[in-house]
Structure 1
Amino acid sequence: MQAGSIPAVSQANLPNAAPARHAAEGARGGGLPPPRVVSRKLPSRLAYIPTVVENEGGNRERTFDIYSRLLKDRIILIGRPIDDVVANLVVAQLMYLAADDPGKEIQIYVNSPGGAVTAGLAIYDTMQYVQSPISTVCIGRAASFGTVVLMAGAKGKRFSLPSSNIHMHQPLIGGKGLQGQASDLDIHAREIIRIRGVLNELIAKHTGQPLERVERDTDRDFFLTPQEAVEYGLIDGIIEQTRVPVLAASK
């Protein structure tokens, strides 16, 4: 594919950049105080999860953890390696949002190094299954299966922030190596080759690139800038604006 200029990204096609703030403004109407953001400490690698406290009038307050508040605005964040736990959470959120309003857009923000292919395929298949259009945005990094999720958004709705890093490669065998008799190792080898073929076909399908080029590019680690990802067909545009006006999610 010939290198070309990055297609213009109009504000009408951009995903909502600050829905929580605007949704809160719409909910306040004019007299309610702004939502408070606090943090609660967790005994885990996440350390802190911010909590948004919204005043619903009078002495009534409603508390959301930050991910639930984003989900209220139909935003899903994949900000960790993709394993079975993360995949089940994302699938559940997609199914909930699709059932809540089948025709309304869902936004997935990707900042992930990838992960287990089987877990990632559960997310991919659900994205193709639900009726809601899905917009994807790379923030920071989309690597390995994170790139598959990024490219699986609806055509014309796949974006990246300008400093993001995008990466593809063939599937890997995790852990410290396989053990067992030769026939078992042969079974695993044939399965990972089959999965490699499946992933290459998906990339060719969503990018429009010839399968032969995809096979060549993913044979080793293949890094792309956002501009190169646009030219390759992985995404449709780069979000340059620092602030994008959005409508309140309640409208």
Structure 2
Amino acid sequence: MPIGVPQVLYEFSDDDYDDDYDDDYDAEEEDEDDEWVDVYTRLYQEGVLFLADEIDSELSNEIISAMLYLNMVDPTQDQYVFINSPGGSILYGMGIYDTMEFVSADADVHTICFGVARSMASLLLVGGVENKRMAFPHAWHVERTGQPLWVIERDIERDHFMSAREAKGYGIVDEIVDEFPTLEFDEFDEI
């Protein structure tokens, strides 16, 4: 049974926010000024983007437009691209890659692999800012990084699967994380 897209509180009214945890919070007494949005919208507003499908024109346009919009609103806000993708179109993937390069002029683009980053998705994973590319220990990667050209050519001849540890040694990711990384957000800032 699908649960739908969860709604999260986007903005507190002045009466709701208190530095101390309120043990007497009652969801029934929500202020009419509280604004609720779907969880994806809230995450996008904080620079968290998901590339979790095959890279095609639709997904590429969604990622590119979100990155450009966030960069337009605040060019210094870091962006976090979570990747779980079998790869896909090189044409559309290069559009995402170029956008990552563009927005990283004033802010960092972090790339985090959860699951797989194969083919074009592995290029996007390695396209994150150096020392801000991560993978969970169970993540697998295919193809590409800063190896000598002959190594890359050999490895992309066929899909070359790697564990997270192998991907770190190869240079695709900079860090292997065992828990979800703490993301620095300005809590409840209005965009």
TM-score per shorter chain, which class? 0.7 to 0.9
TM alignment of 1:122-161, pairs within 5 A? 122-130=95-103, 131=105, 132-161=107-136
Tell me the equivalent position of 2:74: 101
Give yes or no for the alignment of 1:84 onto 2:57. yes
| Cα deviation, residue 115, structure 1 | 1.2
| Cα deviation, residue 214, structure 1 | 0.6
Q: Which 5+ residue runs of structure 2 have no aligned equivalent? A: 14-30
Contact residue 10 and residue 42 of structure 2 kept, 8 A? no
Tell me the equivalent position of 2:26: none
Give yes or no for the alignment of 1:249 onto 2:183. no
Tell me the equivalent position of 1:48: 4
| Cα deviation, residue 109, structure 1 | 0.4
Aligned-partner Cα distance in 1 for 2:168–2:128: 14
Give yes or no for the alignment of 1:226 onto 2:164. yes
1:109 aligns to what SS in structure 2? Answer: strand
How many residues align? The count is 169
TM alignment of 1:3-22, pairs within 5 A? none
The TM-score with structure 2 as length reference comes to: 0.80
Q: Which runs of 4+ in 1 moved over 6 A?
A: none
CA gap of 1:244–1:121, structure 2 versus 1, over 3 A, is closer
Aligned-partner Cα distance in 2 for 1:157–1:243: 14
Which structure has the greater CA radius of gyration? Answer: 1
| Cα deviation, residue 50, structure 1 | 2.5
Give yes or no for the alignment of 1:110 onto 2:83. yes
1:70 aligns to what SS in structure 2? Answer: helix
Candidates 125, 140, 152, aligned match of 1:214: 152
Q: Which 5+ residue runs of structure 1 have no aligned equivalent? A: 1-40, 42-46, 169-202
Aligned-partner Cα distance in 2 for 1:222–1:245: 30
| Cα deviation, residue 60, structure 1 | 2.0
Q: Please give the per-residue CA displacement for 1:54-102, whole angstroms capped at 9, x wherever unaligned.
A: 5623222312122111012111111111110000010011111112221
RMSD across aligned positions (CA): 2.1
Aligned-partner Cα distance in 2 for 1:89–1:124: 13
Tell me the equivalent position of 1:166: 141
1:99 aligns to what SS in structure 2? Answer: helix
Between 1 and 2, higher relative CO (CA 8 Å, sep ≥ 6) is seen in 1
| Cα deviation, residue 133, structure 1 | 1.3
